[in-house]
């Protein structure tokens, strides 16, 4: 019976178009359909997924620097929204962006600070906004806005944005940090530890550990 069935179908004109259609199924790229396999989704679909999962704009998307960061942010979007308003959510969104953060809640301070307050320092050691200084007012505003969207609604906080350099620095980087200090009243150098001297070795190179911060209380 199994040998007879194909011949019967072949002689039935109704199945001809269906057979030809089935032959074309192998030529269809499923990439445009399997969009929720985020690691396999086409790059041009990522902004649509970011909008769907509500992590576009200042919730992190505008500060991503690579396709992998965008995919990671989309994959974590459900957990970020599920835990929104928690220290984990704040740390996680910064981690995806490659920014180290130091978070201290009011009850962790000695003596304890005012209830429902916290201090957050973000160390942006990579340039999140290409074409601008490492620390700049636009980056500060975007990161602060991201904190506003992720923090508990009842909490007030003090936010600091800093750049921390360890080891060998090019002269251009040092000049960039100094220029930022001159331009902005919100930026100031932090005191260096005794074992981290600033030593000018040549016109082109310096060895240093430099801390620059921008901060505000909100």
Mean pLDDT of 170-192: 38
Same structural domain, 205 and 122 = yes
130 with 42, same domain: the answer is no
What pLDDT, in 10s, does the model give residues 77-123?
Answer: 999 999 999 999 999 999 999 999 999 999 999 999 999 999 999 99
Do 37 and 115 belong to one domain?
Answer: no
How many structural domains is the chain composed of?
2
The residue out of 82, 105, 122 marking a domain boundary is: 82
Same structural domain, 216 and 115: yes
Q: Answer yes or no: do 58 and 9 share one domain.
A: yes
78 and 127 assigned to the same domain: no
Q: Out of 48, 82, 116, pick the residue that ends a domain.
A: 82
pLDDT for 16:
77
pLDDT of residue 54 exceeding 70, the answer is yes
Residues 70 and 6 occupy one common structural domain: yes
CA–CA separation, 38 and 46 (whole Å): 8
Average pLDDT taken over every residue of the chain = 77
DSSP classification of residue 8: H
SS3 160: strand
Which of residues 44 and 124 earns the better pLDDT score? 44
Give the span between the Cα atoms of 95 and 65, in whole angstroms. Answer: 13
The DSSP call for residue 25 is G
74 and 100 together in one domain: no
Pair 63, 128: CB distance under 8 Å: yes
Give the separation between CA 163 and CA 104, rounded to whole angstroms: 19
Give the Cα separation of 170 and 91 in Å (integer). 30
Residues 98 and 21 in one domain: no
Note whether 159 and 70 are same-domain residues: no
d(CA 92, CA 84): 10
Q: Identify whether residues 19 and 70 lie together within a single domain.
A: yes
- Expressed as residue numbers, the domain containing 193 is 86-218
CA angle 63/65/68 to nearest 5° reads 115
The structure tokens listed for 14 are: 């109704």
Check whether residue 187 and residue 123 sit in a common domain: yes
Give the single-character DSSP code of 10.
H
Going by C-alpha positions, the residue among 213, 214, 211 that lies closest to residue 196 is 211
């Amino acid at each position: 019976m199994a040998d007879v069935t194909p011949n019967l179908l072949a002689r039935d004109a109704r199945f001809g178009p269906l057979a030809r259609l089935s032959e074309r199924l192998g030529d269809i790229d499923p990439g445009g359909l399997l969009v929720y396999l985020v690691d396999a989704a086409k790059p041009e679909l990522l902004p649509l997924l970011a909008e769907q999962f509500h992590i576009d704009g200042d919730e992190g998307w505008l500060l991503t620097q690579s396709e992998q960061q965008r995919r990671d942010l989309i994959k974590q979007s459900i957990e970020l929204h599920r835990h929104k308003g928690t220290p984990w959510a704040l740390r996680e969104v910064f981690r995806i962006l490659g920014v180290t953060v130091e978070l201290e809640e009011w009850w962790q301070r000695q003596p304890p600070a005012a209830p429902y307050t916290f201090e957050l320092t973000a160390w942006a050691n990579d340039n999140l906004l290409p074409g601008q200084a490492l620390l700049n007012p636009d980056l500060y505003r975007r990161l602060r806005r991201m904190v506003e969207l992720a923090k508990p609604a009842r909490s007030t906080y003090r936010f600091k944005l800093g750049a921390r350099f360890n080891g060998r620095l090019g002269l251009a980087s040092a000049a960039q940090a100094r220029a930022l200090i001159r331009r902005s009243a919100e930026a100031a150098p932090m005191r260096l530890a005794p074992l981290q001297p600033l030593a000018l070795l040549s016109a082109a190179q310096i060895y240093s550990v430099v801390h620059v911060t921008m901060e505000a209380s909100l």
